[in-house]
Amino acid sequence: MARASKKESKVVHELKEWGKALVYALVFGTIIRLFMFETMMVPTESMVPTIDPGDRLFVEKVTYQFKEPDYGDIVVFWAPFVDKSALEMLGPFDKFMDLFSPKAFKGHVKYVKRLVGKPGDTIELRVAPEFKNIEDEILSMPHDDQPHYQLYVNGLVLPQLAERRYSREAIFADKDFYLGLAHPDKVYSIYNEFFKYYQRYLDYASYYDSVLSPLDLRKYIWQDPSTKSIKINIPEGFYFFMGDNTGNSFDSRFFGFVPRENIVGEPMLRIWELSRFGPLKEKE
């Protein structure tokens, strides 16, 4: 009888120890998840071929807490507005992981794009050298959804972005684009149908009214009278991101500047699909 009692006590002791280990693992795992790492599912083609739709990424959060991202870095950030269509694409795993998100971003999704503009920069798109022979034809279009353009930052082509080509859409085609996306009734634009369509999927007006409008965007976005190109100055505390797959990327051209506090971190590992598991590598 004593032997059975002793054996039972040992089992209870083992169960308690396993229980403690599980609690410690959950506590430390949660701490690591909150302060060091993040996960995200990529729902769109905006960063093809480096990142494919459906990829799940492991995101390192520490580095950008001590330094700002550099030009050309692929960065994960919280969308500064509610994107209902992207929310519908999240799976149960993604929704569970987002339960740990900061209160300010509850109901938001994470985007992943490439950093092309920092606070204080002035950026513009110019026809890329290989298209100079048809420059007049290209510039005569009200907007151009083909990657005919190269990005200039403070009048220069940066080495990190020299090989990237972009389409002249949204804010680079219409300096009032952000206002139109928020309040379609206040502008007359070539994008009026686009504005009405996206009203169903984005809660953008609240972000525009609370964050962008108080900046007085006329001070930051203007059309150069000599070149007719639209120039954008990035306000302090904000960044400008664009996707590599320019014709299929909903990025800062469409929704505007991203606040510094929205930046999550740098994707370092693809964890799904398993056939492509491994470090995230740049592709051309």
pLDDT, residue 10, reads 60
Residue 21 within a domain: no
Rounded-to-5 percentages of helix, strand, coil across the chain = 40, 25, 35
6 CB-near residues (< 8 Å, 6+ apart): none
Burial 177-195 (b: 16+ CB within 10 A, else e): bbbbbbbbeebebebeebb
84 given a catalytic annotation? no
Q: Which amino acid is at 162?
A: A
- Of 1-10, 31-40, 136-145, 259-268, least confident by mean pLDDT is 1-10
Cα–Cα distances (Å) from 67 to 64, 70, 93, in that order, read 5, 9, 30
Burial of 71 (0-12, 13-18, 19+ CB in 10 A): middle
- Domain tally for the chain? 1
Residue 24 within a domain: no
* pLDDT at 168 > cutoff 90: yes
Cα–Cα distances (Å) from 42 to 74, 178, 215, 273, in that order, read 13, 24, 30, 12
Range(s) of the domain holding residue 204: 30-279
* pLDDT at 2 > cutoff 60: no
The average pLDDT across 7-12 equals: 57
The pLDDT tens digits for 58-97 are 898 888 988 999 999 999 999 999 999 888 888 887 787 7
Nearest to 83, CA basis, from 164, 170, 201: 201
Residue 3 within a domain: no
Question: Within a 10 A sphere around the Cβ of 220, how many other Cβ atoms?
Answer: 18
CB-side neighbour CA atoms (13 Å) of 22? 6
Whole-structure pTM value: 0.86
The pLDDT tens digits for 111-143 are 999 999 999 999 999 999 999 999 999 999 999
d(CA 26, CA 32): 10
* pLDDT at 219 > cutoff 80: yes
Residue 211 within a domain: yes
The pLDDT tens digits for 144-167 are 999 999 999 999 999 999 999 999
The average pLDDT across 194-199 equals: 92
The average pLDDT across 14-30 equals: 45
Residue 185 within a domain: yes
The active-site residue, picked from 110, 113, 167, 252, is 113
d(CA 131, CA 101): 44
- Between 240 and 86, the higher pLDDT residue: 240
195: domain CATH number is: 2.10.109.10
d(CA 252, CA 151): 13
The active-site residue, picked from 7, 9, 10, 46, is 46
46 given a catalytic annotation? yes
Cα–Cα distances (Å) from 253 to 36, 181, 212, 281, in that order, read 30, 11, 14, 25
216: left (phi over 0), alpha (psi -120 to 50) or beta: left
123 CB-near residues (< 8 Å, 6+ apart): 116, 117, 151, 152, 153, 154, 231, 232, 234, 240
Q: What is the pLDDT confidence band of residue 22, given thresholds at 50, 70 and 90?
A: very low
Read off φ and ψ for residue 154, nearest 5 degrees: 55, 40
Residue 148 within a domain: yes
Residue 80 within a domain: yes
* pLDDT at 211 > cutoff 50: yes
Residue in the structure block whose two tokens are 């007719």: 228
The three-class DSSP label of residue 164 is coil
pLDDT, residue 192, reads 94
pLDDT, residue 20, reads 44
Average pLDDT, the chain: 86
Share of the chain above pLDDT 70, in %: 86
